[in-house]
Structure 1
């Protein structure tokens, strides 16, 4: 383990943070504990002042930069998400000027929230359609003005700040309790590098589990290769963890772990957890914030029973305009919603005959005439929701018995993106 900080420095950083916000709760979740036969503790970083752990690294960076004489400088960051909000909050706390560069395509809700946290101490500049263009503009601004860049994850002071999550966990667990499993979400790697560094020698190395979205496996691929791998593309759905390249410093701290300790989660599986936590617990989580809890379902009771598990819930900045998409993805992953293209005869009564094939728990959620594929037949896009996945076995059997041509396109990514 390459450690970039002393544990006493992390403890000092955690103490200093109490001037800004109290320790986030470590909660024993009764529902999840009962579900998996384990003691499941959730470290609720979604309950920080900016609803994510990012405030920690930003605070520690500013604290040290100001102590080193940086109070007469302007601070700069490039972000359209949690890093920007943590940065803005800390600018206002220390009453130092900050400039936040965001892509022009950033949702207005995120711009407004960042401005709310920073108030008069920040300026927001919109530049470029993509983050890389925005980040380059921020770098150019720093070069031209001598401002101080605050990176999102790849810096010793940022990592040290994120490590305060681990310091709080060990203070909050019952005396003498050491986790049997520590589940950490991974994006750029600052949080996981900080936590594993602080807990080195306390939690066994094999008892860490890192969780990445399947569409952005930067740590997994880098551990497999034994060196940092830059992904050619990422799926941005889990926007808080969709990173194409893990931080250099962070990888140096994590490279001793096995690639087998990295779980890749399908984006739609994360949506199941988001909807479940909202419906059952009333907890709003962003996709990245739900990853560590989603890992529990992948492990199952057989691997978790009897264990003390700590899952870090990294954030809860969720835009509810995304909720219909999250619900859709969750239902498709759970197998209770499917899309078919049907070849329906163009004759009186054909639609009634089709409806008679549906079961009492089947519901049509979408019906769209696509085109006539022949004079006597037409192609229909139909979405069907049901209660139990096995209902679709019966429905398909009914289709076959009726001689109805159909294609299940639910998991056909190209077709689904084009016409659903």
Structure 2
């Protein structure tokens, strides 16, 4: 009987039909920043710009080997698994039906169509991945097609392990630490299972978004649980429930090995990698790099590999990424200003702005009294400390205001 390590190696060899190993590249910028030897496993440079092609291809390859007459595959995906399945469907000449949430970025939908061509049909349903998953599984059982899970499948897990196979071969040795993102757990389960045999001394760190911490919840409960609420901004890793098969392989993970990345901070990392390195990463693809700041003391002087898991970024989202990044960095704030309804009041307010302060939004909401009105202000500046000076001047001149930047309830209504 073959071992998981042997199967992962076979899957890696089979993948050479589609593409060469994705690059493992030392990043000088990050290495200098963290005083460490930082390498990036560039899964954003695969044919579908994510690692998901690996698992989809391996699962489809093994299914067709066992059942040559299988001609229809079904999957659910927030984007990257869909592209992998579409690519594999065209490669094997089979038909695929792909369910995607309505909220999936258009860039991922269009790329899925491009990769699959006439071999796929896309169905948009549900607001989050788990709703699309339910619809896909019902459709699959009614039709008798074969369902390809994005993560909770042994053959998919085995295919994702090929990232670890390539990584060790390319580096020529075991790194001190591997940092990788977690969504449904397929990548983490595959890589950790392979490394447990091939390089057991590597320290593993898993990163998941704060608004989709299904792995943390599963470890706390001792089993996969469904999150009551989900922030879908990091769409490639925002899964409400970790897979059962993936959890079985990850259940021995110590909670300290799991890091949480705030969505707005991830935006800072996306912009940093774009501006400094010219590397385009989607939110999930930036998770492992973003988490380095949380373990900076631990990794100093060590060799660390970060899996840049995907680069399917829709540039129509760039304004939102910039907005989130500025709010996290403290260089943009939203205020509710109580402005006197008298001639010259607005001019008086504008006069107290600093030389680096810029009004990005100005909107009258309503008059709270005959002599006052409420204004929504969006103010950008270059340094977060500029706001302390601005607020002091506003109070000195008698302007009443409320900072609603981090007030989620009010912000959802007025921003």
User: What interval of TM-score do these two structures reach, taking the shorter chain for normalisation?
Assistant: over 0.9
Q: Do the aligned residues in 1 keep the contact of 2:107 with 2:312 (CA within 8 Å)?
A: no
Once the two structures are overlaid, the 10-residue window that deviates more, 54-63 or 132-141, is 132-141
Q: State the Cα deviation string for residues 77-131 of structure 1 (Å, max 9, x = none).
A: 1224111110000011111222222345555443322121012222223445664
Partner of 1:360: 355
Once the two structures are overlaid, the 10-residue window that deviates more, 347-356 or 390-399, is 347-356
Once the two structures are overlaid, the 10-residue window that deviates more, 317-326 or 368-377, is 368-377
Corresponding residue to 1:277 among 252, 263, 273: 273
Once the two structures are overlaid, the 10-residue window that deviates more, 96-105 or 55-64, is 96-105
Partner of 2:8: 10
SS at structure 2 position matched to 1:11: helix
Q: Do the aligned residues in 1 keep the contact of 2:214 with 2:239 (CA within 8 Å)?
A: yes
SS at structure 1 position matched to 2:6: helix
Corresponding residue to 2:137 among 126, 136, 139: 139
Q: Do the aligned residues in 2 keep the contact of 1:179 with 1:203 (CA within 8 Å)?
A: no
Corresponding residue to 2:42 among 41, 44, 67: 44
Superposition deviation, residue 284 in structure 1:
1.1
Partner of 2:194: 198
Aligned partners of 2:214, 2:132: CA distance in 1, in Å? 21
Q: State the Cα deviation string for residues 319-377 of structure 1 (Å, max 9, x = none).
A: 11111111000000011111111112222222222122211111111111111112222
Partner of 2:369: 374
Aligned partners of 1:163, 1:170: CA distance in 2, in Å? 11
Matches within 5 A, 1:53-72: 53-72=51-70
Superposition deviation, residue 205 in structure 1:
6.4
Aligned partners of 1:138, 1:381: CA distance in 2, in Å? 43
The answer to whether 1:343 aligns with 2:338 is yes
Aligned partners of 2:267, 2:3: CA distance in 1, in Å? 36
Matches within 5 A, 1:198-237: 198-201=194-197, 203=199, 207-237=203-233
Q: State the Cα deviation string for residues 179-202 of structure 1 (Å, max 9, x = none).
A: 222111000000001111111155
Structure 2 residues not aligned, in runs of 5+: none
Does the C-alpha gap of structure 1 residues 5 and 73 become closer, same or farther in structure 2, counting only changes over 3 Å? farther
Aligned partners of 2:201, 2:243: CA distance in 1, in Å? 20
The answer to whether 1:178 aligns with 2:190 is no
Corresponding residue to 2:302 among 304, 307, 310: 307
Q: State the Cα deviation string for residues 10-30 of structure 1 (Å, max 9, x = none).
A: 111101101101100011001
SS at structure 2 position matched to 1:112: helix
Does the C-alpha gap of structure 1 residues 343 and 133 become closer, same or farther in structure 2, counting only changes over 3 Å? closer
Does the C-alpha gap of structure 1 residues 103 and 70 become closer, same or farther in structure 2, counting only changes over 3 Å? farther
SS at structure 2 position matched to 1:256: coil
Aligned partners of 1:133, 1:292: CA distance in 2, in Å? 27
Aligned partners of 1:370, 1:260: CA distance in 2, in Å? 46
Q: Do the aligned residues in 1 keep the contact of 2:195 with 2:202 (CA within 8 Å)?
A: no
The answer to whether 1:32 aligns with 2:30 is yes
Superposition deviation, residue 233 in structure 1:
1.6
Matches within 5 A, 1:322-341: 322-341=317-336
Aligned partners of 1:205, 1:231: CA distance in 2, in Å? 32
Q: Do the aligned residues in 2 keep the contact of 1:342 with 1:407 (CA within 8 Å)?
A: yes
Aligned partners of 2:123, 2:211: CA distance in 1, in Å? 29
Q: Do the aligned residues in 2 keep the contact of 1:17 with 1:59 (CA within 8 Å)?
A: yes
The answer to whether 1:295 aligns with 2:288 is no
The answer to whether 1:250 aligns with 2:229 is no
Aligned partners of 1:15, 1:414: CA distance in 2, in Å? 51
TM-score (norm 1): 0.94
Once the two structures are overlaid, the 10-residue window that deviates more, 140-149 or 46-55, is 140-149
Aligned partners of 2:245, 2:412: CA distance in 1, in Å? 37
The answer to whether 1:405 aligns with 2:400 is yes
Once the two structures are overlaid, the 10-residue window that deviates more, 350-359 or 28-37, is 350-359
SS at structure 1 position matched to 2:22: coil
Structure 1 residues not aligned, in runs of 5+: none
